[in-house]
Amino acid sequence: MASNKPTSPVKASTQIFVEIEEIKDDILLMKDYSAAVVVEVGAVNFWLLSAEEQSSMIYSYSSLLNSLSFPTQILILSKKMDVSSYLDYLQGKINRQSVELMKNRLLSYKEFIKTVVKKNTVLEKRFFFVVPFSTLEMGVSGVNTKSLNKEYVVSRAKTSLYPKRDHLVRLLSKIGLRASVLQRQELVELFFNLYNSSPTGKRLAPIESYTDVVLTTG
């Protein structure tokens, strides 16, 4: 009778490396009780601007960064774009098109898209400003994080971060950049897709509808 080989117990999983403790409203709370708000900024096709517009955009952006009185992080996410759904959409248009000339033009356009994707890496980019909060901003009480109450930390984080968040959004809108603060649903989807990458990404049902955790810290 063959003896069973001893196996080592599982000591940890990838979930232990997830630093997120909780997402409350638009506050991202970490395990060490630091926190942050995330502002997503829309992209601008810089190369379509005139030379004067480009110079103006660069000057305005540098002035924005220099005017900030609080730290911030700039994050850029790049992902290879999956155009298969768009090609299927075009094929549906082609199938329903009764005018031969329009059908041929749509076919040519579809082939053009396929050729561009084959010859070049088409990337989808997303841009974020992350405004952090440290428990040290709470004074002496924030030094020993083990004694802190989670709800109290979130409340203090909101008090500190909301004025900075609103100020940043106003500055971005002044230079023509569309900014939106990521809420709980959008933050969960963002991190879910970061930890469970797929070509197209995944949209989640409303977070309140889940009966089990979506992202757990173990």
Task: For 141-155, write each residue's pLDDT tens digit.
Answer: 666 767 788 888 899
> Tell me: the pLDDT tens digits for 128-179?
999 999 988 887 766 676 778 888 889 999 999 999 999 999 999 998 889 9
> Domain limits of the chain?
17-80+125-209, 82-121
pLDDT score of 200: 61
CB environment 42-70: b (16+ within 10 A), e (fewer): eebeeeeeeeeeeeebeeeeeeeeeeeee
Nearest to 38 by CA among 77, 10, 8, 89: 77
Nearest to 164 by CA among 127, 143, 137, 186: 137
The kind and range of the H/E element at 3 are none
Place of tokens 């841009």: 127
Q: 101 Cβ partners below 8 Å, 6+ apart?
A: none
Tell me the C-alpha distance between 59 and 147, whole Å: 46
Tell me the C-alpha distance between 158 and 36, whole Å: 9
Whether the Cβ atoms of residue 176 and residue 143 lie closer than 8 Å to each other: no
Answer whether residue 217 shows pLDDT above 50: no
**Structure token pair of residue 192:** 């879910």
Answer whether residue 29 shows pLDDT above 70: yes
Q: What is the 3-state secondary structure (H, E, C) of 7-29?
A: CCCCCCCHHHHCCEEEEECCEEE
Answer whether residue 57 shows pLDDT above 70: yes
Tell me the C-alpha distance between 56 and 191, whole Å: 34
